[in-house]
Every structure is written in structure tokens, then in C-alpha cells.
Amino acid sequence: MNNQKRLAIFERLSEAIPNPETELNYSNPFELLIAVILSAQATDKGVNIATNKLFPVANTPEAIYALGEEGLKTYIKTIGLFNTKAANIIKTCKMLVELHNSTVPDTREALEALPGVGRKTANVVLNTAYGQPTMAVDTHIFRVSNRTKLAVGKNVLEVEKKLLKGIPKQYIIPAHHLLILHGRYTCVARKPRCGACCIYDLCEYKDKITE
């Protein structure tokens, strides 16, 4: 795909999605970190239901650590893998207090050293909380990137690297949420809403559709 087409895609997505933001509820980098850890194999809606109860009670590393695993589980038990997530979050809170003065670090190395934080979670925090040019490739971004040919890859890391190289500079920060929201509501997995797609004529996936 040439640069002119890439630019046109992001111009249109920006017009269609004027406020590209995460759908996770949070008010500071720590709340975002916890929400993103909880969001693995879970919906944003499900995470928000849990954190809307948790954060008014505990929204600092010290406060969540004080809950302990069992205490934390009472708030997140509706979320998949809550036992593992509770254990990781308690360990992460301990590390934040002891190693980072209760502040969420703004480097990939430090973030990925936290229990339960992988490359994708680190990318979300770096991009959303700290405005860094990172790309967290989830199932939506992976699907949209391959379908449109924005970035064709066999795995998420390959797609991530190609996106970061090819996205126009002025869209590198909002691109993460533009692609996620487009994939979540328009370029859906089973029956993509091509008739409602603002970049339909720029997408190569349409050539594979037979009706």
C-alpha cells in the first residue's frame, strides 16, 4: 500500500471517529494499568463494571495491595482469569510501591518487568497514558491491518512494526484507537459492515467478498 492511500485511510477514520479514545474507564495512569491488565480475554464493558466498584475503594498501589488477593478478587471475580489477574496485580502493586515510588513507569522495560504486563499492555499504557508512539496490536487491529493491507503480517509483532513504519506521522498517536474502534464497530470479525465503512473503496478486502 502506498503512502497516499495510507494517509487517505487515516484522514477518513479521523473524520468518522473524531474522539478516538479507549473505552476503559480510568482517571490516571495507575487506573489505566490495572484496567488493561484486567482486560486480557475480557470485554471493556465487563472490566468497567468491575473497576467502577473497585476504584472508588482502592485506586492506588498501596490501597489495592492492602486489599490482598482475596480482597481484590471480590471486586474482579466477574472477569475471566480473575485468580491469576489478582495475583499479578497484587505483585505489581508491591513492585510499584517498592521500586517506582507508587508511580507507573513510562518506559517499556520497566512496564514489562511488572507481573501481568506484556508487550501489548505496555504499549497501551505508553500510548494512552503517556502519549508515546506505540501500537498495541489486539485482535481488532490485527484483523483490520491485514484486511485493508495497511500492514500484512502473520503475527502481532510483525503487524505492529509495519504499522509504526507506515502510519503517517500526524496520526501515529491516535492510530491505535482509530483502528481498534473501526474494528470493534465496523470491520467486525464475522460479518464486516462494509456498506457502512468510510474506507471501503480503499480496502482490498472487498475484492474477496462474493454475494
User: What CATH number is associated with residue 164?
Assistant: 1.10.1670.10
Mean of pLDDT over the chain: 95
Residues 147 and 197 in one domain: yes
Cα 98 to Cα 152: distance, rounded to the nearest angstrom: 42
Per-residue pLDDT of 61-79, as tens digits, reads: 999 999 999 999 999 999 9
Residue after which a domain boundary falls, among 80, 97, 128:
128
Residues 194 and 165 in one domain: yes
Residue after which a domain boundary falls, among 101, 128, 155:
128
Residues 113 and 156 in one domain: no
Query: Of 40-54, 158-172, 174-188, 194-208, which gets the smallest average pLDDT?
Result: 194-208
Residues 188 and 160 in one domain: yes
Residues 147 and 119 in one domain: no
CATH number at residue 116: 1.10.340.30
Domain, as residue range, for 181: 3-20+135-208
CB of 144 within 8 A of CB of 187? Answer: yes
Residues 53 and 86 in one domain: yes
Residues 74 and 117 in one domain: yes
Residues 147 and 172 in one domain: yes
Q: How many domains does the chain contain in total?
A: 2
Residue after which a domain boundary falls, among 69, 101, 128:
128
Question: What is the model's pLDDT at position 206?
Answer: 64
For 171, which DSSP code?
A: G
Would the pLDDT of 95 be above 60? yes
Residues 124 and 35 in one domain: yes
CB of 190 within 8 A of CB of 143? Answer: no
Which residues are catalytically annotated? 120, 138
Q: What is the mean pLDDT of residues 80-84?
A: 96
Per-residue pLDDT of 178-196, as tens digits, reads: 999 999 999 999 999 999 9
